[in-house]
Structure formats: C-alpha cells, structure tokens
Amino acid sequence: MLQQHTPNPAELVEPDRVHKAVYTDPQLFDLEMERIHERVWIYCGHETQVKKPGDYYTVQVGRQPMIMVRDAGGRVNVLYNRCPHRGSMICGDVHGNTGEAFRCSYHAWTFHHDGKLKTIPMMEAGYAGTNWTRDNPDCNMKQAARVENYRGFVFASLAADGPGLLEFLGPSKIAFDDICDRAPEGEVEVVPNCFRVIQNSNWKIFLENQLDALHPSVTHQSTGRAAHEVEKMIEKRTGKAPLAYHMLSAFATVTIDKWDNFQTLNYPHGHCILTGYMGLRPQDPDTLAYEKTLTKAYGAKRMEEILSTNIHHVLIYPGLSLQSPLQQLRAVRPLGLNRTLTEIWHFRLKGAPEPIYRRSLAYYNLVNSPSTMVNADDLENFWKIQVGLSGDGGDWVSFARHYGRDIENNGVVETAAGMGTSEAPMRNQMKAWAQYMTAGN
Amino acid sequence: MAKKALKKKALPAKAANGHDTQHAVEQFLFRQAEVLDGKRWQDYIDLFSDDGVYWMPASPEQTTWDGTPAIFAEDKNLMTVRMKRVQHPDAWSQRPLWGTNHIVGNVMIEKTAPNGDLVVRSRFHMMELRRDATRHFAGSYLHHLKKTPGGYRIRLQRVDMVNAQAPYDYVLQVWV
C-alpha cells in the first residue's frame, strides 16, 4: 500500500530558505488549517457590516463556514454555520438579516443570535426521554471559541487557548489605530461592497508578495509607465493630474534601485509593515481642509503625528492586509492548496471631508477592483510561482536577500538602512509558520 | 405655399418609422463588439465623446459612477492608461494568448432626443479564452449616444454584468 507521509514542518524551514513542499504538499495544507488558521485570530469582518440586530455576514475561517451576526444587545457573535440537528448550513446567503432568530430551512429549528436554541417544532413530544433538552449545549449552534473586537474590527479564534487578540497583534495593532485615528471621529465605516478575487496559488504566496519591496517596479512597470505618460500629458494640458495617476505612476517613478530606501518592520507571529512609498499628503486644498478637520478633533500636534505615520500597509499573519493610509483591506481565505480567495473592502473615515474618501475610492477602483491594472500582474506571478514550484526543478525557495544584515531588537526585525528590499518579511513569516506548525508536536 | 414645400422637404425619403435609427444603432453596437474582439483599443476609445465614460458598476442598484465603488469607471484619460498598459511589452499578464468573442443583441432604443441623441439598451454575452481557461461574462449595456456628423459617440456606456459580484477567477483587463 502506498503510504503518504506528511513532511515534517521543522525540516522545511531554514533561516534563509524554505522547502517547496510548504506550498505544494496537500497534507501540509490540512495541517496549516488545523494549526494556524483554525487556531489563531482570523479577521471576520468589520462591525459596520452588521449594523442592526439580526444582520449577518458569512465568513470562512480556515475550513469552517462561520456566521458573524449582531444580536439584540448590540454584540457581534461568530457562530459555526451549522444546524446542530442534521448539520445543514443555517445561512445560505453571503449576507442578510435573519430577523429575530435563525431558522433552519430543513426542520425549522430556530436559534437566538448567540446560537442558543430557541425552538424545535413539537419539542416535548418529539424528544421526550432523550437527552435533547433545552439546557443541553449540543442543541445550540456552536460559537467560535473566542471573539474579540478591536476598534470595530472583529476577529475570531477557533481555539480556546492562546494569546488574546491584542497580545497576538502586538505592534501590528497600529494598522487599526492608524486607519481609525485618521478619521476625525476616531472610527471608520465600511463601504458596503466586497470585491472577491481568486488567486490560483497558495495563500502564503500572496502574503509574501505584500511585503516584497523588490517586485513593484518589475511586476507593475507597464502600468507605472502608462500612467506616468498620461499623467504628464494631463499636467501639460491642465497643470495638475489627479492623485490617482500618482498612485499608479509611482510604480515607474520609484525605480528598482530606490526600493531599498524603504523599510520593513517584522514582528512576532509573522506580522509585518512596509513603510510608505507614495506621497499621499500633497499640499492641495483638499488635504489642507482635511488637516484642519483633524486639528479641530485632535489638536495640531496629534494631527501631525497621525498624518506622519509612515505605513504603506500592514500584514497581519496569516490572513489580513490592511492599507491604513488609503483605508483598503484585503482578507485572505485559503480555499485549497493552490486556490485562495481575497475579499477586498474599503472604508470611509468618519468625519473626514468627501475628497479624502474619493482618494480611497480611486485606489479601490484602480488597484483593488476586478479590473485592477496592478494586481493583475501579481496574480500572473502567483500562478507562475505555484506551477513552477510543483515541478522538480529545485527543492528550495530562497529568502536570502540581505540575510544576516537585518537589525533585531526585542523580537522586532527591522531592515537596515538602504536594505528595504531585504527578504526579512518572508523569513519572518516562515519563522512564525514553523512555530505554529511544530507547536504541540 | 412655402410652408408646405418645407414640410415636404423635411420628410426623409423613407418613412420615419424608426427602422433606420434602429439599424444604425445596431450597426454601431456590432461595430463596437468587432473593435473590442479585434483588440483595436484606440478605435474603441475613439467611439467615446471627449466627455465619455465607461462604467461597470459594482452592483445594479447604483445610479452614478461618481463617488461609488465600480469595477470600471474610466474617462478617456484612464482608458488611455489602460490601453498603453495592455500594449506595453512588459505587461506580463497580457502576454499569454487570449481572445474574446462578443455577441450583442436585444437592442432597444429607450429614448430619442430631438437632436438625435439616443439612450439604447442591449444585452451582451462575452466568451473569453485565456491560456486554456474559458470564462463567460454576460449582462446588459446601456449606451448614451451622442449624434455627431461623424456618427454616434458614446457619452456613457454602462455595463451591468450578471456576474459582477461573483468571485473573479483572475481579473478583467480590458473593457467588456
């Protein structure tokens, strides 16, 4: 009989390289779901996706179909999307409002918004003498082991033990502070539209690319150059081109040799930050009006602090990328070994002037929509990587760029000056991966 | 007498039963499909008036492209960026073989302005082959057409895809 062995994760990760099996082995994928995605804190959604009692949104956590729902008391709960009776999903739609109770479409069992059993048709007659009683927790829809909400962003962990959300986030919580603090009212509101794009590649390839400062001017050069040409044409004609062109032309104007000037910050649990490379604070009337609103809300000193926060985006391992200065969010849902869904949202800064929202929207439409002129070439690369790795042309993937030159301080790894293209984020992610995968061995 | 002559002259050779306009609009939409499938991007952009907008809403209930999430919301400048990007030799994702086939039908003239400008609704089905994968996109077009001496020009092309909100396996790189 053919015997299948799960490769030992500890042997697959070396300080500056990883074995290709971490991207191509189906048994490792199942183990990842068990030991990473179904244990650690996974982003479920923003609380403004479910404003009213009964509002729900379905979400995949690891391999588990879950429901995020607002209850009558205002609490956001996360439940397994499964009827305890015969296992049917309770919510078949992506989102909606369930009214006062969930109701199974198979045999009309109903449940409160916290998953507790409400009614079973003819319960007394049907279940007399069985252990299916109202106080039996097996009659309830199961809740996620832990749910926490940080500044409106709801996370669930399917494991009862482990660090709390804030401890898990560590310094990467700045992603949520930055996006919320940029709002004069200190809160954001989701724009109710989710673009969903499937990557034909392993989930880790996207996460690695998010912090890869060496690729933009190579992968995205066609868009950068095209946008730069039109930007110059518009400037010649009208003196000034909209900021949206700058968001795209930066891929051409920031040439490959300049990317070392930026920095990545790498934290425990695999989280990382890429610092900003786009000038997003032009001294135009819109920005000045926004600064005025922020000053009114926070005072001049704090306004300056908020707008000086230098982030391009923050990766919260293993499944969330938040681009706080442009209010973009991408959640990563592994669908299979070489199939990954990204859910792409953007937010309004409460109390900020409309033109600031328009910037976020322009980025959402141009870079993150299904007609993206940017991610299209990333997706092509991801697929090529997945296919390339599936062959026997080599066993290892190299993360050796600037290896040994990073600066480590209290568990935080910063790339050294002039070494922003260091593959430190990939090394950091794989270090976390190995820790998760070998825990409990 | 003069008034009568003028009236007579104003009548076209064929009865104004709408068939001529219907025919002209259909030819315009069919030509648009040919231009897209032929990857004649500049010819496609030239079908738009200078203030023209190509818009694919994120969801059917949207009433304006301005300030709302969109799959496409492009004026001629942004369309030019897209064209130049697709044509660039280092547009990696555009190098593999791909092609499309558009079928346009159910053409209905919804509104005719006295100056000849039109609002036209139609349905489309587009099949795309990219490498070995086939995808289908279908839905309705809404064209706001401006009548010019050089033929119709698009002021607004609204594209409501039935699968606009479905997950995209890969993405869209040119106008549908």
pLDDT of residue A287: 94
Work out the minimum CA distance from B40 to partner chain A, whole angstroms: 17
CB contact under 8 A, A361 and B81: no
CB contact under 8 A, A222 and B77: no
3-state SS class at A16: coil
Whether A70 and A50 have beta carbons less than 8 Å apart is answered as yes
Chain B, 110 to 149: residues with Cβ < 8 Å from chain A are none
Q: What is the DSSP string of A244-305?
A: HHHHHHHHHHS-GGGGGGS-EEE-GGG-EEE---S-----SHHHHHHHHHHHHHH-HHHHHH
Which chain B residue lies closest to A344 (C-alpha atoms)?
Answer: B167
Task: Tell me how far apart the alpha carbons of residues A437 and A388 are, in angstroms, rounded to a whole number.
Answer: 24
Q: Which CATH number belongs to the domain containing residue B72 in this structure?
A: 3.10.450.50
Work out the minimum CA distance from B8 to partner chain A, whole angstroms: 48
Is B134 inside any structural domain? yes
Which residue has tokens 């650690």?
A: A40
**Percent of all residues in chain B with a pLDDT value above 90, rounded to a whole number:** 84
Residue A307's CB is within 10 A of a number of other CB atoms, namely 17
Strand B133-148 to strand A313-316: parallel, antiparallel, or no bridges (unpaired)? unpaired
Is B156 inside any structural domain? yes
Does the pLDDT value for residue B6 go beyond 90?
no
Whether A244 and A282 have beta carbons less than 8 Å apart is answered as no
Chain A residues with beta carbon closer than 8 angstroms to that of B67: 354, 357-358, 361
Does the pLDDT value for residue B8 go beyond 60?
no
Q: Does B99 touch chain A (CB under 8 A)?
A: no
How confident is residue A4, by pLDDT bands cut at 50, 70 and 90?
Answer: low
Is B175 inside any structural domain? no
Residue A55's CB is within 10 A of a number of other CB atoms, namely 20
Residue A258's CB is within 10 A of a number of other CB atoms, namely 14
Stretch (H or E) spanning A214: none
Chain A, 358 to 397: residues with Cβ < 8 Å from chain B are 358, 361, 364-366, 369-373, 375-377, 379-381
Is B7 inside any structural domain? no
| Structural domain that includes position B24 | 19-161
Q: What is the DSSP string of B28-97?
A: HHHHHHHHHHTT-HHHHHHTEEEEEEEEEESSTT---STTS-EEEEE-HHHHHHHHHHHHSTT-GGGSS-
CB contact under 8 A, A222 and B167: no
Chain B residues with beta carbon closer than 8 angstroms to that of A372: 171
Over residues A377-401, the mean pLDDT reads 96
Is B4 inside any structural domain? no
Closest to A311 measured CA to CA, from A156, A112, A172, A190: A172
Is B77 inside any structural domain? yes
Angle at A125 between CA A123 and CA A129, to 5 degrees: 95
Task: Tell me how far apart the alpha carbons of residues A363 and A376 are, in angstroms, rounded to a whole number.
Answer: 14
Number of domains in chain B: 1
Is B166 inside any structural domain? no
Work out the minimum CA distance from B99 to partner chain A, whole angstroms: 16
CB contact under 8 A, A198 and B81: no
Over residues A387-393, the mean pLDDT reads 95
Which residue has tokens 């191509």?
A: A24
Is B169 inside any structural domain? no
Which chain A residue lies closest to B171 (C-alpha atoms)?
Answer: A370
ipTM for the complex shown: 0.94
Q: Write out pLDDT tens, residues A106-115.
A: 999 999 999 9
Residue A157's CB is within 10 A of a number of other CB atoms, namely 23
**Percent of all residues in chain B with a pLDDT value above 70, rounded to a whole number:** 90
